[in-house]
Copies of this chain bind each other. A is one copy, B any other.
Amino acid sequence: MDISKLIKQIQIKKSFLCVGLDTDLAKIPEHLHQQPNPIFEFNRQIIDATAKYAVAYKPNIAFYEAIGKEGWEALKQTIDYLNSQYPEIFTTADAKRGDIGNTASKYAQAFFDDLNFDAITVAPYMGKDSVEPFLAYQNKHTILLALTSNEGAFDFQTQTLKNKDSLYQTVLKTSQTWKNSENLMYVVGATKAEYFKEIRQIIPHSFLLVPGVGAQGGSLKEVCQYGLTKDCGLLVNSSRGIIYASNGKDFAQAAELKAKGLQEEMAIYL
């Protein structure tokens, strides 16, 4: 997807909400287990209920791999459903892959060609040749981990290097020199809102995928204060807070209400 289409959706829906489809068999409503494919059925109903308020969906691949071949099948059905029913929606595989060049090409093939996602999250530890095979795809987006929402972000990402920058700042600056870096976006956790100001000094225009609002405790208001750009520049993700708002038969309506609430708050900040 061309980035201008995403920006247009954000303007139309007055929303920069990404719904995280971290779908866990153990957490979905009881009554769905009678369906032939409960994971896909759950996703389909969540998508139909929230698509008015969301511009992006992000299945985390771990939840699908955890149940093997059936999980992969449910992932494929979900992305096919999104691409056919909601072609205006931006889709991201939250996969956090990273491997040497010839292997990275295989992951790019898996998520961009076979599954046809618009974007994938990628880990930076292995450097340039582990990321450029993803960047080579036109109109596909590579969302590089910069500063993540978890406690472990302080183990390495915020460590200061000899050049005075922290590791995540070095990741931002170095990756901007890579081939096709215009296809880069970055993961920056909402739980680190105080860092957004300095991040915007390094990458003033890049889109940021922001997890950590909701269950993880990040504040939407603080993220917007320093993170918003003239084209919005943010995709704020909520997973558990939306998809598990209820585990009864009303789960889709409950998810819709949560998504609507976030969209309305987003409309104020836009």
Contact = CB atoms under 8 A, between A and B. Distances in A.
A37 interface: no
A129 B151 contact: yes
A66 B109 contact: yes
A33 B66 CA distance: 29
Interface residues of A, number: 57
A100 B150 CA distance: 6
Q: How many copies does the complex hold?
A: 2
A163 B161 CA distance: 8
A74 to B, nearest CB: 10
Contact of A157 (B24, B76, B101, B125): B125
Contact of A150 (B63, B72, B126, B145): B126
A222 interface: no
Contact of A162 (B106, B109, B124, B160): B160
A171 interface: yes
Interface of A: 22, 24, 60, 62-63, 65-69, 72-73, 76, 94, 96-101, 103-104, 106-107, 109-110, 114-115, 123-131, 145, 148-157, 159-163, 167, 170-171, 174
A181 to B, nearest CB: 13
A46 to B, nearest CB: 18
A39 B100 CA distance: 21
B150 A129 contact: yes
9 contacts: A60-B103, A62-B110, A65-B110, A66-B107, A68-B115, A126-B152, A127-B157, A130-B152, A161-B161
B153 A126 contact: yes
Contacts of A156: 124-125, 127, 167, 170-171, 174
